[in-house]
Amino acid sequence: MKTLQNYFDAKNVSPDLQKLIFSLLWAGANFYELTLFHYDFQNFYADTTNKSGDRQLKIDVAANDVFVGLLKENDVSLIASEELAEPMKGKSGGKYAVAFDPLDGSSIVDADMSVGSIVGVYEGDSVIGRKGSEQVAALAFVYGPQFTFFITVGQGTLAGVYRPENYPDDIAEEKRHDQFYVSNENVTLTEDGKYFAPGNLRAAASESWYMKTLQEWIKAGSTLRYSGGMVPDIGHIFIKGGGIFLYPGTAQKPDGKLRLLYECAPFAFLVEQAGGKAITQKGDRILDITVEFPHQTTSIFLGSKNDVEKIIGKIKS
């Protein structure tokens, strides 16, 4: 397998961006092997809630600490996390602003299901007033039976895997990069997928278009693949090469619950670079939405192009 380093060299990715991406991967590897693997899930809740009102788990806070710790050592001027009320300052004059969800899938982690991290990278020192289309890189890490990852630097989307020879704290810094491999350097989504991952399924009780769409997928013989974790669910679409993930809003909560900055914009970038589509329930491109406040949410439909487009027609009809 080609190493990620070889891929970056072939694509002429700037050394600064490479360094940041490897640090993020390293944060993921540290969290996966040193924190998550040994975690005591009996002792679950922290005494805090995050800005979205979710009760924080100790593991959410631990994941956040690993990423923030490594980002502070990098050329990063702004660190924005789903687990921080407000973005925090990093290095003054740092080249990048980084937005992330350190642990996606908090509600299923104790059941030992796959979880992950999601990251969007911008140049500059702000995330507010920016659009997802300004991202220079997006990453999603899956912590499952293996640590797999999806990365785009705007030249297609790659899938990769971490193949460690040693525990992360036992390996020399100069050897770290050699442990990340590219398994598919050109993830490509088919225009029609045969898998559906319906988030917020509860909304089907009040939104008739959603109930109708689900019935049509079932009648068409599509396969349900839904874990309750956005990262493994979209990761599944990338690995299988097609499908749709959605998290719609309702009349009461039109913008759903998934966060634009930490979850939707990075995944929209990854999906578009794989030839797919990512839009809101109204049909607006996710990457064109301006971030107005850090924990802003949006409805989202993303994945195989035709599957995503067809739903919009159903909502309108």
Look at the alpha carbons of 197, 200, 206, 209 in this order and tell me if their dihedral is positive or negative.
negative
Residue 49 interacting with ligand AHM (CB under 6 A):
no
Taking the C-alpha atoms of residue 269 and residue 277, their distance in angstroms, rounded to an integer, is 9
Q: Please, which residue, 104 or 307, has the CB nearer to Mg ion?
A: 104
Taking the C-alpha atoms of residue 72 and residue 62, their distance in angstroms, rounded to an integer, is 15
Q: Please, which residue, 94 or 249, has the CB nearer to ligand AHM?
A: 249
**Does 60 participate in catalysis according to the annotation?**
yes
3-state secondary structure of 67: helix
- How near is the Cβ of 248 to ligand AHM at its closest, in Å? 11
What's the one-letter identity of residue 117?
S
Taking the C-alpha atoms of residue 48 and residue 17, their distance in angstroms, rounded to an integer, is 34
Q: Please, which residue, 200 or 280, has the CB nearer to ligand AHM?
A: 200
Catalytic-labelled residue, pool 33, 36, 57, 104: 104
**Does 288 participate in catalysis according to the annotation?**
no
Taking the C-alpha atoms of residue 3 and residue 27, their distance in angstroms, rounded to an integer, is 18
Q: Which of 104, 125, 134, 272 binds Mg ion (CB under 5 A)?
A: 104
Catalytic-labelled residue, pool 33, 134, 233, 263: 263
Catalytic-labelled residue, pool 54, 192, 216, 255: 54
Question: Hey, which residues between 241 and 270 contact ligand AHM (CB under 6 A)?
Answer: 247, 257
Q: Which of 73, 75, 84, 67 is nearest to 25 (CA)?
A: 67
- How near is the Cβ of 200 to ligand AHM at its closest, in Å? 5
Residue 83 interacting with Mg ion (CB under 5 A):
no
The two structure tokens encoding residue 238:
């990338």
* Residues constituting the chain: 317
Number of chain residues interacting with ligand AHM (CB under 6 A): 13
Cα 172–chain centre separation: 28
Q: Which of 313, 202, 198 is nearest to 253 (CA)?
A: 202
Residue with tokens 């193949």: 163
Q: Is 154 left (phi over 0), alpha (psi -120 to 50) or beta?
A: left
Residue 101 interacting with Mg ion (CB under 5 A):
yes
**Does 101 participate in catalysis according to the annotation?**
yes
Q: Please, which residue, 104 or 233, has the CB nearer to Mg ion?
A: 104
Q: Which of 104, 134, 272, 307 binds ligand AHM (CB under 6 A)?
A: 104
Part in contact with ligand AHM (CB under 6 A); list of ranges 41-49, 141-149, 225-233, 285-293: 225-233
Q: Cβ of 135: how many Cβ atoms within 10 Å?
A: 24
Q: Please, which residue, 77 or 117, has the CB nearer to ligand AHM?
A: 117
Catalytic-labelled residue, pool 17, 20, 57, 101: 101
Q: Which of 101, 125, 134, 307 binds ligand AHM (CB under 6 A)?
A: 101
Number of chain residues interacting with Mg ion (CB under 5 A): 2
309 binds, among Mg ion, ligand AHM, none (CB under 5 to 8 A by kind): none
Question: Hey, which residues between 195 and 214 contact ligand AHM (CB under 6 A)?
Answer: 199-200
The Cα-based distances of 152 to 17, 75, 200, 224, 266 in angstroms read 11, 19, 27, 27, 9
Q: Is 245 left (phi over 0), alpha (psi -120 to 50) or beta?
A: beta
- How near is the Cβ of 101 to Mg ion at its closest, in Å? 4
Q: Which of 124, 154, 156, 228 binds ligand AHM (CB under 6 A)?
A: 228
Show the beta-strand stretches assigned E in 4-52: 45-49
Q: Which of 28, 120, 229, 235 binds ligand AHM (CB under 6 A)?
A: 229
Residues belonging to the active site: 54, 60, 82-83, 101, 103-104, 263
Binding residues (CB under 5 A) for Mg ion: these are 101, 104
